[in-house]
Copies of this chain bind each other. A is one copy, B any other.
């Protein structure tokens, strides 16, 4: 077993530390967040590995914005409009999804550059990714500034869910493998999954 100390971590070269610390907490979700500026009408799409479940009632999710994020459009747009979409990265579109992390000119929509298809549903303001098989319409609720490293936790409420019929089980469980969703390992590793088992509610004996 290899042992890495706080001092080692501090002394690592930047990319090495980034790879290590981004991997070490375990697997992450893989989502594309879609927003649109009210003012300019320009849409924005960015990949996030930090979308998390926050609660079921009300249905809340969160994601982290880095201070150094090249994609500040996401935050600006969702604060301004109040809306965003969360779209699962599909196994068939890894390269295009990853490409949304490039630092494009804010006046350019990532939809135009990556080949992912921008669609709108009903009168929801933010764009969905057509290729994503799970799509969520979300409303901005709040954000929390994390003073330890100048990050920001965005809290959103899920207002609508689109998903493939065959991925939804009788008890509400969504089989993400059947939906073609992937998981992220570290900064840049994309993994497919295979469900081993589901366990029943644990009781003391």
User: Which B residues lie within 8 Å of A23 (CB)?
Assistant: 172-176
Is A42 at the interface (CB under 8 A from chain B)?
no
Given A3-B162, A197-B94, A25-B9 contact (CB < 8 Å): no
Q: Nearest residue in B to A202 (C-beta to C-beta)? A: B102
**Chain A, interface residues (CB within 8 Å), range:** 35 or more
Q: Is A41 part of the contact surface with B, judged by Cβ < 8 Å?
A: no
Binary contact track A138-160/B, C-beta < 8 Å → 1, others 0? 00011010111101010101111
Pairwise interchain contact B50-A50, C-beta atoms closer than 8 A: no
How many subunits of this chain does the assembly comprise?
2
A193 at the binding interface (Cβ < 8 Å): yes
Residues of A161-192 whose CB lies within 8 A of B: 161-165, 168-169, 171-177, 181-183, 185-192
Q: List 15 A-B contacts (CB under 8 A).
A: A14-B57, A16-B171, A20-B174, A21-B53, A21-B57, A55-B66, A57-B149, A58-B149, A101-B202, A102-B204, A173-B185, A186-B198, A188-B199, A190-B195, A193-B194
